[in-house]
Structure 1
Amino acid sequence: MTSKWNYSTLSSEEQSYESRLSKRYAACPPISRLLVQRGITSVEEAEHFFHPSLKDLHDPFLMPDMDKAVARLNKAMGAKERIMVYGDYDVDGTTAVALVYRYLRNFYSNVEYYIPTRYDEGYGISKRSIDYAASQGVSLVIILDCGIKAIDEIDYARSLGIDFIICDHHVPDDRLPDAVAILNPKLEGSTYPCSHLSGCGVGYKFMQAFAISNGIPGAELEGMLDLVAVSIAADIVPMVDENRIMAYHGLRRLNSNPNLGLRAIIRICGLSGREITISDVIFKIGPRINASGRMQSGREAVDLLVARDSAEAHEKGKEIDRYNQDRKELDKRITEEANAILEARGEDCSDKKSIVIYNKDWHRGIIGIVASRLTELYYKPAVVLTLNNGMATGSSRSVQGFDVYKAVEATRDILENFGGHTYAVGLSLKEENIPEFTRRFEEYVSANIQPNQLTPLLDIDAQITFAQITSEFVATLRRFNPFGPGNQKPVFCARSVMDFGTSKLVGKNLEHIKLELVDDTSGKVFNCIAFNMAQHFDYIHSRRPFDIAFTIEDNKHQAAAGAIQLLIKEIRIPE
């Protein structure tokens, strides 16, 4: 689907900030504009942005209930109570459990971890897990990346003498569980400065507060930021404030001395000896960790991430990689089946503003990925449902700017359970309620989605010429890392570029174009890659001018240090 190019503009006040910053970055004019777009208005703020410091992390005791959580943990350890660290089966949950368990294990041995199975227990706290905890003499559960809606389950646990500390980041309901402490920056009335932590990030802040209260130096905990960086990237939380600080230092750890489990995955992914980026985490490391919970058991991911022996870690990593291969095959098959159903419905020309699709035989661990693919293909909010333990269970994904959480919430009276974020929600309902859910979900989306939200937008940060892509500009651009929501990788456009005469089709089916492009501002030839754009090749090869939108990437296939490649996001042929 062709995108609408949305050109960033600056207000008059922002233009004055840009003018001020341009004195410092005169050699790279677009840099000042990119900084202002990120809310940076002075050279001092720019230097803080370019040099993220752990000293700038917020005081963890600013989070409501943090003092209660630390006091209960200290009491449990002092009384030698058995503690369970419990978390969700996705990347965020498993990294959070690994971090808290590994850190506490340094000081305390009477601790274990638990990950519910996706298929037998489902999301969040299960009655089975509470019964297990009671049978093991557990009296304190630290729950990570879930639990904020587990009112009945925590009441049941309390009746058995089990306390809960909830560390979550999902949107809470009006009524909260009766836990000893609830650590969630999204709680109503919370003034914690960073409201968009990952679940693992909340766990990190809890351990940071625990360390402060006991006078423990921070180096050991800071050494676990590789796990936080993986959670931030995989859960796609905003890359701003302390998320960006933790991701920055976590990536440094990933590139220098990652934990044994992550090191095994890095080797299996073929990333050894290369600089690992947020993109590598999103597309290579994260999916492998996730595959464990999707295909088998999320506990195996935690087993890997807390491994103390490199040979053991490598074997566990290979097993998880096999799960990922199985996941990819299932993903491809189910996506093809879903597309066939929607094509038969005439979804491309349908006047409906949403997609709800159900197949009782689809694999539950894959439906979130399929929902994402359908949203990308049809550019509509999508819900994909399957049957699990007699209940229709699903995942929803959304388009830019539309809050799918509110759309699902509008049907809550016919749902058994739901939870999530603005752009991704999990839900379950009785099979007989699917038609009514489909009707009401479409009704809400149609009434609330804006026309411009049904057309993909490609945000253009700046128009530049090839002459402006200097080595100094590229070096400064690298300092904007790590990228993510709120600090997206800048997208540029260049006008009237032309083929140098050496561009060619590549790929198994010749579906991609490897380009060498020039413009009239510079004699330099730029290497570029345009994935799945072979339809433009004949025009490009005729050496007529066209426009491109692109990001600037490090070219990992060229030996020269600092070599770059333009990743073409879209090609515009003049009418």
Structure 2
Amino acid sequence: QVETYIPRRYEEGYGVSLEGVRYASENRFSLMLTLDCGTKDFDSLQDAAERGIDVIVCDHHLPEESLPAAFAVLNPKRSDCPYPFKELSGCGVAFKLLQSLANRMDLPESGIYEELDLVAISIGADLVELKGENRIMASQGLRQLRKRQRPGILALMRAADIHQAPQTVRDISFTLGPRINAAGRMDHAQRVVDLLMEKNDARANEMAREIEEMNLRRRDVDESTTAEALLQLEQSPEESFCNIVHGANWHRGVVGIVASRMIESRYRPSVVLSEENGVLIGSTRSVDGVDMHDALESCSDLLLQFGGHTMAAGLSLDAKNLEAFKIRLNDAVRTQLNGVTPKPIIRCDREVHISELSLEALKELEQLEPFGPGNPTPVFILRNVISVRPPRTIGNQGRHLKIAIKDPSSDSPTIDTIGWNMGDLAPQIKQNVPLDLAFTLVKNTWKPRGWQNRTELNLHLRSIQLASSPETAG
């Protein structure tokens, strides 16, 4: 008998819950395998041991000095772990366990490799570094995804009006990942597990439509909470080294997303907290040069709980400790930054001429895939190009910027560019005024009604600078 159990994040918290252990005991399970959690769940795993349940932990979060009571703790970040690659995702750790079992039981590994599509999704959704084994598993997992064999993934793509399987890790991060996460944010993550295991197409379609509706609700909540948080941020001191905002009963499912939005507005490590019944619960996102896990460690006596990674973490604290926490965390971040206010740095790989940009050039770049954390997408610079028509804002509330550009000194074709979350820069950009752009190359494929798929080259903007001015527009 095998069964999945996912805690309800808002009632039971993250990780292995006491309720989950009790469920396993009452239903006479003798073995629990954790996925992407367990390393810090001392109380729950001790309870499992006392109930006679063996636990195998598959996790990749930073452990403390001691480990919980468990039959085995599989975590490449253990100080005594000799495994050479340390950046596996939680799902990647579970995959290594499957490989080991296959070897021990003399089973063919070919069946195990069919599960790499799920490993690739975990890599893209959890934003782990695309180095070493992660690159290999992500690449092979994307191939598996393109075979389109799993009804649940196909249904999720149909519900989201996605016409082709993810081609890159970025596609996972921006299409499948948010929808998979939406179920846990807005309702219960078990819905996604059920979808991924569903074999009936009709049932999978129905489940996927429900998850897509959750994702749309998540977007609405995200936007309203972001607006409140940004208003609060405007009233906080500009000289602070850390953005910290909080609100009553903000939806906990979007606080991590809102923290990322804070960084886009003011480039600082960000903490977004929701207050419920005198307790603040939230998420952090960091910037280059700041280890948020270490910063929270320095405030641990003020916290009820915390855990996570260098760039992202979760935490909870009594509301009465909020002001002391703000001071302590700001000091910890200032220390890490040596008192220097952080500024976003765009690392560009090469200056190019517009005539060098083509789908053929992009195809050559794609040989370096998969791109992501640890192997970033190459960023290029174009100088002295012009907007051939007035810029447009697109998306909800004109959040995004669209510019059609060309080189005025040559007969080069016009190329469309998109600046995500750059809509507020539109008034600064004038038609036929020279611009310098930092960007990445993207292949845009869509299907016009009644026609076959069309593919064109797009530029995704990272920065816009007036060519005649040293000041950046974005």
Aligned to 2:394: 507
Is residue 516 from structure 1 mapped to residue 409 from structure 2 by the alignment? no
Instruction: Specify whether residues 252 and 446 from structure 1 end up closer, same or farther in structure 2 by C-alpha distance, changes over 3 A only.
Output: same
Paired residue for 2:127?
A: 236
Q: How does 1:87-486 map to 2 (within 5 A)?
A: 110-273=1-164, 276-343=167-234, 345=235, 347=236, 350-388=238-276, 391-450=279-338, 454-469=342-357, 472-486=360-374
TM-score after normalising by structure 2: 0.91
What percent of counterpart residues are identical? 37
Deviation of the 1:387 alpha carbon: 3.1
1:545 aligns with 2:434: yes
Q: Secondary structure at the match of 1:176?
A: coil
Which residue is equivalent to 2:464? Answer: 571
What residue identity is the alignment partner of 1:565?
Answer: N
Q: CA deviation at 1:293?
A: 0.8
Cα deviation 1:191-250 (Å, max 9, x = unaligned) = 322211111111111111111111111222111111111110010001111111111111
Does the 8 Å CA contact 1:398/1:404 hold for their aligned counterparts? yes
Higher relative contact order (Cα pairs below 8 Å, separated by 6+ residues): 1
SS in 2 for 1:523: coil
Relative distance call for 1:495 and 1:467 in structure 2 (3 A) is: same
Q: Which has the higher helix share?
A: 1
The one-letter code matched in structure 1 to 2:258 is: V
TM-score (ref. length: structure 1): 0.76
Looking at structure 1, the residues matched to 79 and 65 of structure 2 have their Cα atoms a distance apart, in angstroms, of: 9
Q: CA offset at residue 540 of structure 1?
A: 4.3
Shift of 1:144: 0.8
Deviation at 1:325, TM superposition (A): 1.3
Q: Which amino acid aligns with 2:405?
A: E
Name the Cα RMSD after superposition. Answer: 2.2
In structure 2, relative to structure 1, the CA distance for the partners of 1:478 and 1:449 (3 Å cut) is same
Following superposition, the deviation at residue 111 of structure 1 comes to 0.8
Q: Which residue of 1 aligns with 2:472?
A: none
Give the C-alpha shift of residue 272 in structure 1: 2.5
Q: Secondary structure at the match of 1:563?
A: strand
- Residue 20 of structure 1 is matched in structure 2 by none
Go from structure 1 to structure 2 and tell me whether the alpha carbon gap of 1:296 and 1:470 turns closer, same or farther (over 3 Å shift).
Answer: closer
CA-CA distance at 1:502 after TM superposition: 4.9
| CA shift for structure 1 position 301 | 1.2
- Structure 2 stretches lacking a partner, 5+ long: 470-474
Q: Aligned equivalents of 2:49 and 2:345: distance in 1? A: 49
Q: Distance in 2 between matches of 1:450 and 1:493?
A: 31
- Cα deviation 1:331-359 (Å, max 9, x = unaligned): 1111111112222x2x3x52211122222
TM-superposed CA distance for 1:482, in Å, is 1.6
Structure 1 residue 157, shift from structure 2 partner: 1.1
Distance 1:154 1:494, change over 3 A: same
3-state SS of 2:463 partner: strand
Q: Displacement, 1:385?
A: 1.4
AA of the residue aligned to 1:490: P
Match of 1:525 among 413, 422, 427: 413
**Distance 1:560-1:260 versus aligned 2 partners, 3 A rule:** closer
Instruction: Tell me, in whole angstroms, the C-alpha distance in 2 between the residues paired with 1:255 and 1:450.
Output: 47
Letter in 2 for 1:556: T
Comparing 374-383 with 560-569, which one deviates more in the overlay?
560-569
* Gap regions ≥5 residues in structure 1: 1-109
Provide closer, same or farther for how the CA distance between residues 544 and 375 of structure 1 changes in structure 2, counting only shifts above 3 A.
closer
Q: Distance in 2 between matches of 1:171 and 1:538?
A: 45
Give the C-alpha shift of residue 183 in structure 1.
0.6
How many equivalent residue pairs? 460
Deviation larger for 402-411 or 436-445: 436-445
**CA offset at residue 135 of structure 1?**
0.4
Distance in 2 between the 1:325 and 1:572 partners? Answer: 34
